[in-house]
A and B are shown apart, each in its own frame.
Chain A
Amino acid sequence: DTEVTQTPKHLVMGMTNKKSLKCEQHMGHRAMYWYKQKAKKPPELMFVYSYEKLSINESVPSRFSPECPNSSLLNLHLHALQPEDSALYLCASSQVQGFSGNTIYFGEGSWLTVV
Protein backbone atom coordinates (compact mmCIF):
# COMPACT_ATOMS: atom_id res chain seq x y z
CA ASP A 1 0.00 0.00 0.00
CA THR A 2 1.62 3.23 -1.17
CA GLU A 3 -1.29 5.51 -0.39
CA VAL A 4 -1.19 9.08 0.81
CA THR A 5 -4.69 10.34 1.59
CA GLN A 6 -5.58 14.01 1.47
CA THR A 7 -8.77 15.72 2.64
CA PRO A 8 -10.71 17.63 1.59
CA LYS A 9 -10.41 17.17 -2.17
CA HIS A 10 -11.86 20.62 -2.77
CA LEU A 11 -12.02 23.64 -0.47
CA VAL A 12 -13.41 27.11 -1.08
CA MET A 13 -12.61 29.68 1.57
CA GLY A 14 -12.92 33.41 2.11
CA MET A 15 -9.93 35.59 2.81
CA THR A 16 -10.87 35.91 6.48
CA ASN A 17 -11.54 32.21 7.07
CA LYS A 18 -9.42 29.68 8.93
CA LYS A 19 -9.33 26.20 7.45
CA SER A 20 -7.04 23.17 7.43
CA LEU A 21 -5.84 20.63 4.90
CA LYS A 22 -5.15 17.13 6.17
CA CYS A 23 -2.82 14.40 5.01
CA GLU A 24 -2.44 10.84 6.26
CA GLN A 25 -0.15 7.92 5.44
CA HIS A 26 0.14 4.48 7.00
CA MET A 27 3.36 3.34 5.36
CA GLY A 28 5.50 4.02 8.43
CA HIS A 29 7.18 6.90 6.62
CA ARG A 30 9.06 9.41 8.77
CA ALA A 31 9.34 12.23 6.23
CA MET A 32 6.33 14.21 5.03
CA TYR A 33 6.08 17.10 2.61
CA TRP A 34 3.75 19.88 1.47
CA TYR A 35 3.91 21.14 -2.10
CA LYS A 36 1.92 23.85 -3.88
CA GLN A 37 1.12 23.60 -7.60
CA LYS A 38 -0.37 26.33 -9.76
CA ALA A 39 -2.01 25.49 -13.08
CA LYS A 40 0.43 24.44 -15.82
CA LYS A 41 3.38 24.75 -13.42
CA PRO A 42 5.51 22.20 -11.57
CA PRO A 43 4.95 21.53 -7.85
CA GLU A 44 6.90 23.82 -5.55
CA LEU A 45 8.20 22.63 -2.20
CA MET A 46 6.75 24.40 0.86
CA PHE A 47 7.66 22.36 3.94
CA VAL A 48 9.43 19.16 4.92
CA TYR A 49 8.93 17.31 8.21
CA SER A 50 11.40 14.70 9.35
CA TYR A 51 10.56 12.57 12.38
CA GLU A 52 7.70 14.97 13.20
CA LYS A 53 10.00 17.99 13.30
CA LEU A 54 10.01 20.79 10.77
CA SER A 55 13.13 20.30 8.70
CA ILE A 56 12.68 22.67 5.78
CA ASN A 57 10.55 25.80 5.35
CA GLU A 58 10.98 27.28 1.90
CA SER A 59 10.28 30.84 3.08
CA VAL A 60 6.55 30.23 3.04
CA PRO A 61 4.35 33.13 4.29
CA SER A 62 3.12 32.72 7.85
CA ARG A 63 -0.51 32.54 6.70
CA PHE A 64 0.40 28.89 5.96
CA SER A 65 1.11 26.99 9.18
CA PRO A 66 2.13 23.33 9.03
CA GLU A 67 1.67 20.86 11.85
CA CYS A 68 2.74 17.24 12.29
CA PRO A 69 0.75 15.83 15.24
CA ASN A 70 2.20 12.32 14.83
CA SER A 71 4.18 10.24 12.36
CA SER A 72 1.11 9.45 10.23
CA LEU A 73 -0.52 12.86 10.02
CA LEU A 74 0.37 16.19 8.48
CA ASN A 75 -1.82 19.26 8.55
CA LEU A 76 -1.62 22.60 6.79
CA HIS A 77 -3.48 25.36 8.62
CA LEU A 78 -4.66 28.23 6.46
CA HIS A 79 -5.51 31.72 7.66
CA ALA A 80 -6.02 35.07 5.95
CA LEU A 81 -5.15 33.69 2.53
CA GLN A 82 -5.10 35.71 -0.67
CA PRO A 83 -6.76 34.81 -3.99
CA GLU A 84 -3.29 34.13 -5.46
CA ASP A 85 -2.94 31.27 -2.95
CA SER A 86 -5.54 29.34 -4.92
CA ALA A 87 -3.78 26.20 -6.11
CA LEU A 88 -3.50 22.42 -5.81
CA TYR A 89 -1.83 21.51 -2.51
CA LEU A 90 -0.03 18.20 -2.59
CA CYS A 91 1.10 16.14 0.36
CA ALA A 92 3.83 13.53 0.02
CA SER A 93 5.75 11.09 2.18
CA SER A 94 8.90 8.98 2.08
CA GLN A 95 10.67 6.53 4.38
CA VAL A 96 13.15 9.16 5.53
CA GLN A 97 14.47 12.46 4.24
CA GLY A 98 17.56 12.65 2.08
CA PHE A 99 18.29 8.98 1.38
CA SER A 100 19.40 7.95 -2.12
CA GLY A 101 16.78 5.21 -2.45
CA ASN A 102 13.99 7.45 -1.22
CA THR A 103 10.83 7.09 -3.30
CA ILE A 104 8.52 9.99 -2.53
CA TYR A 105 4.81 9.20 -2.82
CA PHE A 106 2.18 11.84 -3.45
CA GLY A 107 -1.48 12.13 -2.61
CA GLU A 108 -4.20 13.26 -5.02
CA GLY A 109 -4.06 16.79 -3.67
CA SER A 110 -6.50 19.33 -2.27
CA TRP A 111 -7.83 21.96 -4.64
CA LEU A 112 -8.00 25.26 -2.80
CA THR A 113 -9.93 28.28 -4.05
CA VAL A 114 -9.68 31.55 -2.11
CA VAL A 115 -12.49 34.01 -2.80
Chain B
Amino acid sequence: SQQGEEDPQALSIQEGENATMNCSYKTSINNLQWYRQNSGRGLVHLILIRSNEREKHSGRLRVTLDTSKKSSSLLITASRAADTASYFCATDEKQGKLIFGQGTELSVKP
Protein backbone atom coordinates (compact mmCIF):
# COMPACT_ATOMS: atom_id res chain seq x y z
CA SER B 1 0.00 0.00 0.00
CA GLN B 2 1.22 3.53 -0.70
CA GLN B 3 0.66 6.31 1.76
CA GLY B 4 1.08 9.50 -0.14
CA GLU B 5 1.29 11.52 -3.24
CA GLU B 6 4.21 13.65 -4.30
CA ASP B 7 4.06 16.65 -6.48
CA PRO B 8 5.42 17.43 -8.94
CA GLN B 9 6.26 14.04 -10.43
CA ALA B 10 9.13 15.63 -12.31
CA LEU B 11 10.96 18.93 -11.92
CA SER B 12 13.64 20.43 -14.14
CA ILE B 13 15.58 23.52 -13.01
CA GLN B 14 18.85 25.33 -13.62
CA GLU B 15 21.79 25.17 -11.25
CA GLY B 16 21.51 27.78 -8.55
CA GLU B 17 17.71 27.77 -8.51
CA ASN B 18 15.65 26.44 -5.62
CA ALA B 19 13.64 23.21 -5.89
CA THR B 20 10.47 22.56 -3.92
CA MET B 21 8.79 19.18 -3.66
CA ASN B 22 5.52 18.47 -1.90
CA CYS B 23 4.20 15.36 -0.23
CA SER B 24 0.75 14.52 1.07
CA TYR B 25 -0.24 11.56 3.21
CA LYS B 26 -3.37 10.00 4.63
CA THR B 27 -2.97 8.57 8.13
CA SER B 28 -1.52 9.56 11.50
CA ILE B 29 2.25 9.38 11.58
CA ASN B 30 5.17 9.16 14.01
CA ASN B 31 7.43 11.04 11.65
CA LEU B 32 8.07 11.85 8.02
CA GLN B 33 11.40 11.18 6.35
CA TRP B 34 12.85 12.37 3.05
CA TYR B 35 15.21 10.26 0.97
CA ARG B 36 17.25 10.73 -2.17
CA GLN B 37 17.87 7.97 -4.69
CA ASN B 38 20.32 8.24 -7.53
CA SER B 39 19.54 6.10 -10.54
CA GLY B 40 20.01 2.41 -9.76
CA ARG B 41 21.30 3.06 -6.25
CA GLY B 42 20.04 2.70 -2.70
CA LEU B 43 18.19 5.29 -0.68
CA VAL B 44 20.11 8.01 1.12
CA HIS B 45 18.43 9.45 4.20
CA LEU B 46 18.17 13.24 4.07
CA ILE B 47 16.10 14.42 7.01
CA LEU B 48 13.54 13.24 9.55
CA ILE B 49 10.82 15.49 10.97
CA ARG B 50 8.73 14.29 13.89
CA SER B 51 4.98 14.71 14.00
CA ASN B 52 5.28 17.42 16.70
CA GLU B 53 7.78 19.48 14.67
CA ARG B 54 6.88 22.05 12.03
CA GLU B 55 10.18 22.83 10.34
CA LYS B 56 13.72 21.46 10.17
CA HIS B 57 16.86 22.50 8.39
CA SER B 58 19.92 20.56 7.31
CA GLY B 59 22.47 22.37 5.19
CA ARG B 60 20.69 23.42 1.97
CA LEU B 61 17.58 21.44 2.89
CA ARG B 62 14.50 22.81 4.57
CA VAL B 63 11.56 20.56 5.44
CA THR B 64 8.16 21.64 6.70
CA LEU B 65 5.37 19.52 8.10
CA ASP B 66 1.71 20.48 8.45
CA THR B 67 -0.08 17.66 10.24
CA SER B 68 -3.46 19.44 10.00
CA LYS B 69 -3.20 19.29 6.21
CA LYS B 70 -1.25 16.02 6.22
CA SER B 71 1.41 17.49 4.01
CA SER B 72 5.13 18.18 3.91
CA SER B 73 7.50 20.04 1.64
CA LEU B 74 11.20 19.71 0.88
CA LEU B 75 13.09 22.78 -0.29
CA ILE B 76 16.57 22.45 -1.76
CA THR B 77 18.23 25.84 -2.05
CA ALA B 78 20.97 26.81 -4.51
CA SER B 79 20.66 23.53 -6.36
CA ARG B 80 23.62 21.79 -7.97
CA ALA B 81 23.87 19.30 -10.84
CA ALA B 82 24.79 16.66 -8.22
CA ASP B 83 21.32 17.09 -6.68
CA THR B 84 19.85 15.37 -9.76
CA ALA B 85 18.04 12.33 -8.35
CA SER B 86 14.65 10.99 -7.31
CA TYR B 87 13.34 12.29 -4.00
CA PHE B 88 10.89 10.34 -1.88
CA CYS B 89 8.94 11.23 1.20
CA ALA B 90 8.14 8.37 3.52
CA THR B 91 5.80 8.33 6.49
CA ASP B 92 6.48 6.23 9.55
CA GLU B 93 3.01 5.10 10.54
CA LYS B 94 2.06 4.47 14.15
CA GLN B 95 2.48 0.71 13.72
CA GLY B 96 6.05 1.16 12.58
CA LYS B 97 5.69 0.88 8.82
CA LEU B 98 7.64 3.26 6.59
CA ILE B 99 5.50 3.90 3.55
CA PHE B 100 6.78 5.82 0.54
CA GLY B 101 5.21 8.42 -1.69
CA GLN B 102 5.46 8.18 -5.46
CA GLY B 103 8.57 10.35 -5.66
CA THR B 104 9.73 13.42 -7.55
CA GLU B 105 12.38 13.19 -10.26
CA LEU B 106 14.59 16.25 -10.01
CA SER B 107 16.84 17.27 -12.87
CA VAL B 108 19.29 20.11 -12.28
CA LYS B 109 20.88 21.41 -15.45
CA PRO B 110 24.38 22.93 -15.29
Q: How far apart are the CA atoms of A41 and B103 in the complex, in Å?
A: 8
Total count of chain B residues near the partner, CB < 8 A: 29
Across the interface, do B42 and A98 meet the contact criterion of CB distance under 8 Å?
Answer: no
Assess whether B13 is interfacial by the CB under 8 Å rule. Answer: no
A42 in contact with B31 given A97-B96, A104-B45 (CB within 8 Å):
no
10 A-B pairs closest in CB distance = A98-B96, A97-B96, A42-B100, A108-B42, A106-B43, A100-B30, A100-B50, A109-B42, A106-B42, A103-B48
Assess whether B95 is interfacial by the CB under 8 Å rule. Answer: yes
Assess whether B61 is interfacial by the CB under 8 Å rule. Answer: no
Query: Which residues of B come within 8 Å of A, CB atoms?
Result: 1-2, 30-31, 33, 35, 40-45, 48, 50-52, 88, 90, 92, 94-103
A99 in contact with B30 given A42-B88, A48-B97 (CB within 8 Å):
yes
Q: How far apart are the CA atoms of A2 and B45 in the complex, in Å?
A: 10
Q: Looking at A41, A45, A90, which has the most chain B CB atoms within 10 Å of its CB?
A: A45
Assess whether A28 is interfacial by the CB under 8 Å rule. Answer: no
Assess whether A50 is interfacial by the CB under 8 Å rule. Answer: yes
Given the complex, which residues of A lie within 8 Å of B97, measured CB to CB?
Answer: 45, 48, 56
User: Closest residue of chain B to A100, judged by CB?
Assistant: B30
Given the complex, which residues of B lie within 8 Å of A50, measured CB to CB?
Answer: 96
Given the complex, which residues of B lie within 8 Å of A100, measured CB to CB?
Answer: 30-31, 50-52, 92
Across the interface, do B96 and A48 meet the contact criterion of CB distance under 8 Å?
Answer: yes
From the candidates B1, B42, B50, B102, name the one contacting A107 in the complex (CB within 8 A).
Answer: B42
* A31 shortest CB reach to chain B, Å: 7
Q: How far apart are the CA atoms of A43 and B31 in the complex, in Å?
A: 18
Q: How far apart are the CA atoms of A83 and B100 in the complex, in Å?
A: 24
Across the interface, do A102 and B2 meet the contact criterion of CB distance under 8 Å?
Answer: no
Assess whether A62 is interfacial by the CB under 8 Å rule. Answer: no
Across the interface, do A104 and B33 meet the contact criterion of CB distance under 8 Å?
Answer: yes
* B86 shortest CB reach to chain A, Å: 9
Given the complex, which residues of A lie within 8 Å of B50, measured CB to CB?
Answer: 100-101
Known contacts A99-B30, A102-B31, A109-B41; 11 additional CB pairs below 8 A are A43-B100, A44-B2, A44-B100, A48-B97, A56-B95, A92-B98, A101-B48, A103-B33, A103-B45, A106-B45, A111-B40
